[in-house]
């Protein structure tokens, strides 16, 4: 019996025993019925309340939020704080509030509370104690259930948080990602796969087989690719091209085996990554590297040529002196001998100039960079070409945009060299009496603020050859007419200027070479 109850018994006055027993019997019967717990407890409380004639009779249980009034008969007049305080410090009945702890095997399950209107007699006190004891195991059981429910709820919330977290991770990846199980059913489908022209929503994809969702590849092929991973357990990687976004892009597809248990592959993760830019950069690197190698090679060759040239020049000179001696001695010399020597001399110095020029060009150096007007560069180039015999016969149309911005960090000489090479190629392509147009206009972005085009109506370039024309030593011209270095040098120079060179051409339809240069300072 709790001390408070004992206290409440002091000074109690007897009441007829007949009231207590039947009441207890009725309450036991109610508790033992096979109604749900809630109902059984509520009914017995109501009976107790009526028998004792009190306004309130309730049961409080310990929950996560503290003591909670779980079942009650009558208006709640007692507060949780009051109950709590009384449980912690059992005292004689005060404010006519009776609090009886309900114990169970392992501690206190809660409390039975009531607001008294009269002091309880012995019989009534025993009745209250008996009911409290009867309720003990029942409530302990209810408390356990509630605790279990709370735990399940908390665990579910945690699992949900973890699921959302993982989903957020795969959705934030700049890759398309999906996962399938052994039945080829889609088990995960990230945000990236929902977007784009061929995007499919997650709701639509999850639970379906890949054959219902992915139509770009024939089903047998898809199956084979996945079976490869399921059976070998090895990562498979390949590249594919796709027009899904409207333009041709390259994707790296990786299929990764996933094992839920220890051994067999249960799922396959597929990742699709757009590697178009990376691939282009890779190709540009390869090209730049090739050009650098060629530069070094050319420098070596030029040095080698310099020596025989010097020897030829020296021999020609000695021959000249010899002829002078012969002439002085009075002998006749062939009339054109001097002329030939002169030709040898001229040609050797021309070769030397070319060699020196190339050596100079191949030597790595920081070319002076200044603000350059592309229109001026073109005018200068045309001025230089004016004296060229074959060029004079062509019709050259210039359409230069007077509002063209300047290129802030450019080298005049190098740009002249570029347009010279492009114009000479155009001249070769159109043959005698053809037409060439050279045009400048403004670009759409500061990175490509200047666009200069050299357009000819010559023989054009076959599609299969287009990728080769910038390679060093690629030439279709007769030996002696072409070195195959013009365009590769142009490429290097324009690249060094932070620009780009493009070509549109079709066999028999002429060509357009387009140079794009930045109009912003580069670091
Ligand atoms: N405007 C053009 N029209 C047709 N073909 C061209 C044109 N420009 C370049 N080519 C092709 O590209 C090749 C490489 O050019 P280039 O590097 O300047 O070397 P080269 O002029 O010495 O052959 C040329 O041999 C030619 O086949
Ligand atoms: Mg050329």
| pLDDT tens-digit readout, 137-172 | 777 777 777 788 888 999 999 999 998 998 899 899
Fold of 174-274: Beta-Lactamase (3.30.450)
Say yes or no: CB of residue 469 within 6 Å of ligand 1: yes
- Given a cut of 60, whether residue 13 has pLDDT beyond it is no
d(CA 431, CA 453): 19
What number does the ligand 1 atom closest to the CA of 482 have? Answer: 22
d(CA 496, CA 509): 30
> Residue 31: which of 22, 18, 41, 16 has the closest Cα?
41
Place of tokens 């036991």: 28
> Residue 247: which of 214, 269, 274 has the closest Cα?
274
d(CA 218, CA 59): 68
If one counts every other C-beta atom within 10 angstroms of the C-beta of residue 213, the result is 16
Q: How much is the pLDDT for 294?
A: 67
Nearest CA to ligand 1 atom 1: 426
Say yes or no: CB of residue 436 within 6 Å of ligand 1: no
Q: How much is the pLDDT for 435?
A: 94
Query: Region 14-40: what's the mean pLDDT?
Result: 75
Query: Region 213-219: what's the mean pLDDT?
Result: 88
pLDDT band at 104 (very low <50, low <70, confident <90, very high): low
243 vs 361: which has the higher pLDDT: 243
Ligand nearest to the Cα of 477, by number:
1
Say yes or no: CB of residue 200 within 6 Å of ligand 1: no
Q: How much is the pLDDT for 8?
A: 41
Which tokens hold the place of 47? 């009976």
What number does the ligand 1 atom closest to the CA of 483 have? Answer: 22
Q: What CATH number has the domain spanning 279-362?
A: 1.10.287
pTM for this predicted structure: 0.43
Q: Are strands 500-505 and 66-73 parallel, antiparallel or unpaired?
A: unpaired
pLDDT band at 445 (very low <50, low <70, confident <90, very high): very high
Q: How much is the pLDDT for 291?
A: 66
144 Ramachandran zone, left/alpha/beta (phi>0; psi -120 to 50): alpha
- Given a cut of 60, whether residue 16 has pLDDT beyond it is no
Contact 191, 173 (CB under 8 A): no
pLDDT band at 385 (very low <50, low <70, confident <90, very high): confident
Contact 257, 271 (CB under 8 A): no
- Given a cut of 60, whether residue 6 has pLDDT beyond it is no
Ligand nearest to the Cα of 454, by number:
1
DSSP string computed for 71-99: EEES---S-HHHHHHHHHS--S-BTTEEE
pLDDT band at 1 (very low <50, low <70, confident <90, very high): very low
d(CA 132, CA 109): 11
- DSSP tag of 194: G
d(CA 191, CA 323): 89
Lowest mean pLDDT among 130-139, 158-167, 505-514: 130-139
> Residue 79: which of 101, 104, 102, 56 has the closest Cα?
56
Residues of the chain with CATH 1.10.287: 279-362
- Given a cut of 80, whether residue 521 has pLDDT beyond it is yes
pLDDT band at 10 (very low <50, low <70, confident <90, very high): very low
- Strand-pairing partners, residue 421, are none
d(CA 311, CA 317): 10
- Given a cut of 80, whether residue 196 has pLDDT beyond it is no
Fold of 370-517: Heat Shock Protein 90 (3.30.565)
Say yes or no: CB of residue 487 within 6 Å of ligand 1: yes
Nearest CA to ligand 1 atom 8: 425
Say yes or no: CB of residue 429 within 6 Å of ligand 1: yes
Burial of 63 (0-12, 13-18, 19+ CB in 10 A): middle
Say yes or no: CB of residue 31 within 6 Å of ligand 1: no
pLDDT band at 365 (very low <50, low <70, confident <90, very high): low
- Given a cut of 80, whether residue 303 has pLDDT beyond it is no
Residues of the chain with CATH 3.30.565.10: 370-517
- Strand-pairing partners, residue 235, are none
pLDDT tens sequence across 457-485: 999 999 989 989 998 788 998 876 777 88
Say yes or no: CB of residue 512 within 6 Å of ligand 1: no
What number does the ligand 1 atom closest to the CA of 485 have? Answer: 17
First CA to last CA distance, the chain: 89
Domain 3-149 belongs in CATH node 1.10.357.10: no
pLDDT more than 90, % of the chain: 37
Q: How much is the pLDDT for 252?
A: 93
What number does the ligand 1 atom closest to the CA of 426 have? Answer: 1
Query: Region 284-303: what's the mean pLDDT?
Result: 69
**Widest Cα–Cα separation across the chain:** 174
> Residue 243: which of 281, 274, 219 has the closest Cα?
274
Q: How far is the CA of 487 from the centre of ligand 1 (A)?
A: 7
Strands in 267-274's sheet, in edge-to-edge order, are 186-189, 176-181, 267-274, 249-258, 236-242
- Strand-pairing partners, residue 459, are none
Say yes or no: CB of residue 474 within 6 Å of ligand 1: yes
Say yes or no: CB of residue 503 within 6 Å of ligand 1: no
- pLDDT averaged over every residue in the chain: 85
Q: How far is the CA of 477 from the centre of ligand 1 (A)?
A: 8
Query: Region 170-188: what's the mean pLDDT?
Result: 94
Which tokens hold the place of 460? 């054009």
pLDDT band at 31 (very low <50, low <70, confident <90, very high): confident
Most confident of 287-296, 358-367, 511-520: 511-520
303 vs 122: which has the higher pLDDT: 122
Say yes or no: CB of residue 426 within 6 Å of ligand 1: yes
- Given a cut of 80, whether residue 103 has pLDDT beyond it is no
Lowest mean pLDDT among 40-54, 172-186, 248-262, 352-366: 352-366
């Amino acid at each position: 019996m709790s001390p408070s109850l004992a206290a409440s018994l002091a000074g109690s006055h007897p009441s007829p025993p007949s009231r207590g027993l039947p009441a207890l019997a009725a309450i036991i019967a109610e508790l033992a019925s096979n109604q749900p717990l809630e109902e059984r407890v509520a009914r017995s409380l109501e009976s107790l309340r009526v028998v004792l004639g009190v306004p309130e009779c309730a049961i409080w249980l310990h929950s996560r939020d503290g003591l909670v009034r779980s079942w009650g008969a009558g208006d709640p007049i007692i507060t949780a704080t009051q109950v709590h305080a009384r449980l912690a410090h059992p005292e004689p009945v005060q404010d006519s509030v009776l609090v009886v702890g309900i114990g169970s095997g392992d501690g206190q399950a809660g409390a039975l509370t009531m607001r008294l209107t009269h002091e309880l007699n012995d019989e009534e006190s025993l009745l209250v104690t008996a009911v409290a004891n009867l309720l003990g195991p029942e409530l302990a059981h209810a408390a356990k259930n509630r605790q279990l429910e709370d735990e399940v709820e908390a665990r579910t919330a945690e699992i949900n948080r973890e699921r959302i977290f993982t989903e957020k991770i795969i959705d934030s990846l700049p890759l398309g990602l999906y996962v399938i199980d052994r039945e080829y059913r889609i088990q995960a489908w990230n945000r990236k796969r929902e977007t784009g022209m061929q995007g499919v929503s997650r709701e639509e994809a999850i639970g379906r087989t890949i054959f219902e969702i992915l139509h770009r590849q024939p089903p047998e092929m898809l199956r084979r690719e996945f079976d490869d991973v399921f059976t070998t357990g090895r990562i498979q990687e390949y590249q594919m091209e796709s027009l899904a976004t409207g333009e041709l892009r390259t994707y790296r597809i990786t299929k990764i085996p996933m094992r839920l248990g220890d051994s067999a592959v249960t799922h396959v993760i597929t990742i699709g990554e757009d590697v178009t830019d990376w691939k282009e950069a890779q190709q540009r690197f390869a090209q730049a590297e090739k050009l650098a190698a060629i530069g070094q090679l050319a420098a070596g060759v030029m040095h080698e040529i310099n020596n025989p040239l010097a020897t030829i020049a020296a021999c020609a000179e000695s021959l000249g002196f010899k002829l002078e001696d012969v002439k002085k001695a009075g002998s006749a010399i062939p009339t054109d001998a001097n002329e030939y020597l002169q030709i040898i001399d001229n040609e050797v110095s021309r070769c030397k100039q070319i060699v020196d020029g190339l050596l100079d060009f191949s030597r790595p150096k920081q070319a002076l960079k200044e603000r350059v007007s592309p229109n001026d560069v073109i005018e200068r180039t045309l001025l230089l070409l004016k004296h060229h015999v074959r060029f004079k016969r062509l019709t050259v149309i210039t359409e230069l945009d007077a509002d063209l911005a300047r290129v802030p960090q450019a080298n005049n000489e190098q740009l002249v060299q570029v347009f010279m090479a492009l114009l000479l190629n155009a001249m070769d392509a159109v043959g005698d009496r053809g037409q060439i147009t050279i045009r400048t206009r403004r670009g759409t972005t500061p990175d490509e603020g200047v666009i200069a085009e050299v357009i000819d109506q010559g023989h054009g370039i076959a599609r299969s050859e287009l990728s080769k024309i910038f390679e060093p030593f690629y030439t279709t011209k007769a030996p002696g007419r072409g070195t195959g270095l013009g365009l590769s040098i142009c490429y290097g120079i324009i690249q060094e200027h932070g620009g780009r060179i493009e070509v549109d051409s079709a066999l028999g339809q002429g060509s357009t070479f387009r140079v794009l240069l930045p109009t912003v300072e580069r670091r």
